[in-house]
Amino acid sequence: MVIKVFLASSSGSTAIKKKQQDVVSFLDALKVDYTELDIACNEQNRMWMRQNVPEEKKPSNGIPLPPQIFNEESYCGVLHLT
């Protein structure tokens, strides 16, 4: 089992940066093994993420933003921490 977390290392959005840090901190706190995949500097990662987020989970503009979480090839979603 490989947990994949798709992130953007050079996002200009502070909201995206905060969500990404929250997800990584949460997984670290739970001692969950995961792999970070950067979509900002790797076009293959970006395309894979966009193609594998289910249509019903994509935003209205059709372009999912990081962070996105997968278990192997299965979409897990976006972690919403409150």
Say yes or no to pLDDT of 5 above 80: yes
| Strands of 68-71's sheet in order across | 34-38, 3-7, 68-71, 74-77
CATH for 37:
3.40.30.10
Closest C-alpha among 57, 59, 39 to residue 48: 39
pLDDT at 47: 97
Domain presence at residue 82: no
Number of domains in the chain: 1
Predicted confidence (pLDDT) per residue in 25-79, tens digit = 999 999 999 999 999 999 999 999 999 999 999 989 989 999 999 999 999 988 6
- pTM score of the predicted model: 0.90
Domain that holds residue 19: 3-77
Q: Which of 57, 72, 61 is nearest to 4 (CA)?
A: 72
